[in-house]
Amino acid sequence: MQTRRKFITGTTSILAGAGLINVLPVNIFHGLSKRISASDKIHFGLIGCKGMGWSNLKAHLTSNPEVTCIALADVDQKVLDERAANVEELTGHRPALFKDYRKLLEMKDLDAVIIATPDHWHCLMLCDALAAGKHVYCEKPLANSIEECNVMMNAAKRYDKIVQIGQWQRSGYHYQQAHEFLKSGKLGNIRLVKCWAYQGWMQPVPIKPDSAVPEGVDYDMWLGPAPKRPFNPNRFHFNFRWYWDYAGGLMTDWGVHEIDIALFFMGVSAPKSIMASGGKFAYPDDASETPDTLQTVFEYDNFNMLWEHAVGIDNGPYGKSEGIAFIGNNGTMVVNREGWDVIPETTRNKDGINRYDIEDIPDQRKDNNINYLGEHTKNFVAAIKANDHSLLKCGIETGAVAAINAHMGNVAYKTGRKVYWDAATRSFKNDDQANDLMKSTYHNGWMLPKF
């Protein structure tokens, strides 16, 4: 292990110093990976291989020469075969393939797994992976309910493995720069934080009839603990996000990213109250279930946070399709994935002339040569090698804070009224309906893990 650390530290430092760590061709990474002995390799498996699953695995492989992929698991044979070919092309080795993730977890030489399935599977898979002695990189949101978030945190404490959540904005350098500016106090008292995601690319989900399960798909395994329903292509793969059985819509899909940054910058974790209003206003007759338009107000000590999302349009606050705005007495800082800037407030002096309270800071642009997802994977691997949870940019507690706040927004939306949170009991105050919405109901013989 010491030899590996010296080699990796030296090599990656040289590449990073030259600005090449994220832009070298794949064949260069392939050659670099070959120079690491088999005994020093970190063996990864991927559960859920489409979309972000592949993005996460590819980032691990191309940003960390010591990482190799030895196994894939997916309920769709077509996806399995495609990704197996991708891994072989990237690494020169074909991974073992599984339809049932539990068989993958039985591999003794597997060190870590990436979980990138629909949200309703995260809790079971993470708990099973930890019990099998694996480190875990889990896609966001952490879970599909507040109860599952609590179960997963308890499991992580019991097994003491390294767990990173895929809120990769935490590994973004310009977010760190913006955080430093916020801590300077120059914005003055911050009274409101706005978070938003306007998704103009999203079109109506067309209504489709139920159909036969596609060849090669283990649909029962895909459903897992979700309610038994006939197969419908709208609920499969990407669009699962817009159905309550499997996910929480844009509130949890995009919300955890932006809410995470907002809460981190403001140094808070739990609101005092939440209220939400919205609905299917853009596409009222399409096949999705979750709201396409939503405004949620979170009350914290000394400030409010507003979450809002909208589909089919891009022109969000400050002309940005996504972001977080910190609104202070002296100015507003706006940060998103492209960079950050400060918009000064003006005041009037005795002559009635406007003046800036703080300096105007123009756009501080993101360095596009740096791959933040790659940085997030490097942080995970570094924590594994050091066996040090404190190194993580987004450990399981951080992921849980963002997910729980986002789920609170959905709970308020479903109740249709203002709900109040009791931080001491980790439940809603005097509200049986809201507390029931915190829970998970498992189906088809699957049971919520007990920790």
SS3 string, the chain, reads CHHHHHHHHHHHHHHHHCCCCCCCCHHHHHHHHHCCCHHHCEEEEEECCCCHHHHHHHHHHHHCCCEEEEEEECCEHHHHHHHHHHHHHHHCCCCEEECCHHHHHCCCCCCEEEECCCHHHHHHHHHHHHHCCCEEEECCCCCCCHHHHHHHHHHHHHHCCCEEECCHHHHCHHHHHHHHHHHCCCCCCEEEEEEEEEECCCCCCCCCCCCCCCCCECHHHHHCCCCCCCCCHHHCHHHHHHCCCCCCCHHHHCHHHHHHHHHHHHCCCCCCEEEEEEECCCCCCCCCCCCCEEEEEEEECCEEEEEEEEECCCCCHHHCCEEEEEEECCEEEEEECCEEEEEECEEECCCCCEEECCCCEEEEECCCCCCHHHHHHHHHHHHHHHCCHHHCCCCHHHHHHHHHHHHHHHHHHHHCCCEEEECCCCEECCCHHHHHHCCCCCCCCCCCCCC
- Rounded to an integer, what distance in angstroms lies between the CA atom of residue 91 and that of residue 355? 59
> 90 and 204: one domain?
no
Q: Are 334 and 340 in contact (CB under 8 A)?
A: yes
Provide the 10 A C-beta neighbour count for residue 352. 6
- Rounded to an integer, what distance in angstroms lies between the CA atom of residue 134 and that of residue 148? 19
Residue 366 belongs to some domain of the structure: yes
Residue 364 belongs to some domain of the structure: yes
Q: How many angstroms separate the first and last alpha carbons of the chain?
A: 33
Would the pLDDT of 26 be above 60? no
- Rounded to an integer, what distance in angstroms lies between the CA atom of residue 130 and that of residue 105? 10
The count of domains in the chain is: 2
Please compute the mean of the pLDDT values over residues 57-71 and round it to a whole number: 97
> 360 and 416: one domain?
yes
Q: Give the residue numbers spanning the domain of 20.
A: 2-170+372-399
- For the stretch 427-444, pLDDT in tens is 999 999 999 999 999 999
> 162 and 233: one domain?
no
What percent of the chain is modeled with pLDDT above 70?
Answer: 91
- Rounded to an integer, what distance in angstroms lies between the CA atom of residue 393 and that of residue 400? 13
> 81 and 121: one domain?
yes
Q: According to the model, what pLDDT value does residue 356 have?
A: 79
Residue 333 belongs to some domain of the structure: yes
Question: What is the band of 38 on the pLDDT scale with cuts at 50, 70, 90?
Answer: low
> 318 and 414: one domain?
yes
Return the CATH number at 226: 3.30.360.10
Which phi and psi angles does 133 have, rounded to 5°? Answer: 85, 25
Token pair recorded at residue 174:
């310009």
> 288 and 430: one domain?
yes
In the listed set 353, 384, 399, which residue is the last one of a domain according to the structure?
Answer: 399
Pairing of strands 96-98, 67-73: parallel
Q: Which amino acid is located at 134 in the chain?
A: K
> 314 and 259: one domain?
yes
Q: According to the model, what pLDDT value does residue 386 have?
A: 96
**Contacts of residue 100, Cβ cutoff 8 Å, sequence gap at least 6:** 73, 218, 221
Question: What is the band of 378 on the pLDDT scale with cuts at 50, 70, 90?
Answer: very high
> 417 and 429: one domain?
yes
- For the stretch 412-426, pLDDT in tens is 999 999 999 999 999
Residue 450 belongs to some domain of the structure: no
Q: According to the model, what pLDDT value does residue 390 have?
A: 97
Residue among 93, 86, 117, 77 at smallest CA distance from 214: 77
Would the pLDDT of 71 be above 80? yes
Would the pLDDT of 103 be above 80? yes
Residue 410 belongs to some domain of the structure: yes
- Rounded to an integer, what distance in angstroms lies between the CA atom of residue 62 and that of residue 90? 9
* Average pLDDT over all residues of the chain: 92
> 177 and 309: one domain?
yes
Q: According to the model, what pLDDT value does residue 10 have?
A: 39
Would the pLDDT of 407 be above 90? yes
Q: According to the model, what pLDDT value does residue 349 have?
A: 75
- Rounded to an integer, what distance in angstroms lies between the CA atom of residue 321 and that of residue 146? 28
- Rounded to an integer, what distance in angstroms lies between the CA atom of residue 70 and that of residue 229? 33
Token pair recorded at residue 171:
């590994």
- Rounded to an integer, what distance in angstroms lies between the CA atom of residue 97 and that of residue 322? 37
Residue 443 belongs to some domain of the structure: no
- For the stretch 246-295, pLDDT in tens is 999 999 999 999 999 999 999 999 999 999 999 999 999 999 999 999 99
pTM value? Answer: 0.90
- For the stretch 304-333, pLDDT in tens is 999 999 999 999 999 999 999 999 999 999
Question: What is the band of 27 on the pLDDT scale with cuts at 50, 70, 90?
Answer: low
Which residue is listed with tokens 């709208």? 234
Question: What is the band of 34 on the pLDDT scale with cuts at 50, 70, 90?
Answer: low
> 285 and 377: one domain?
no
Which residue is listed with tokens 């339809």? 99
- Rounded to an integer, what distance in angstroms lies between the CA atom of residue 411 and that of residue 413? 5
Would the pLDDT of 6 be above 60? no
Please compute the mean of the pLDDT values over residues 159-174 and round it to a whole number: 97
> 316 and 406: one domain?
yes
> 163 and 182: one domain?
no
Residue 332 belongs to some domain of the structure: yes
Would the pLDDT of 30 be above 90? no
Q: According to the model, what pLDDT value does residue 346 have?
A: 85
Would the pLDDT of 14 be above 60? no
- Rounded to an integer, what distance in angstroms lies between the CA atom of residue 47 and that of residue 117? 7
Question: What is the band of 13 on the pLDDT scale with cuts at 50, 70, 90?
Answer: very low
Residue 449 belongs to some domain of the structure: no
Residue among 247, 141, 255 at smallest CA distance from 196: 255
**Contacts of residue 121, Cβ cutoff 8 Å, sequence gap at least 6:** 48, 115, 224, 225
Return the CATH number at 40: 3.40.50.720
Would the pLDDT of 56 be above 90? yes
Q: According to the model, what pLDDT value does residue 20 have?
A: 37
Angle between helices 396-415 and 255-266 in degrees, nearest 10? 110
Angle between helices 146-159 and 396-415 in degrees, nearest 10? 160
Question: What is the band of 19 on the pLDDT scale with cuts at 50, 70, 90?
Answer: very low
Would the pLDDT of 83 be above 60? yes
The more confidently predicted of residues 98 and 16 is: 98
Q: According to the model, what pLDDT value does residue 37 have?
A: 58
Length in residues, the chain: 451
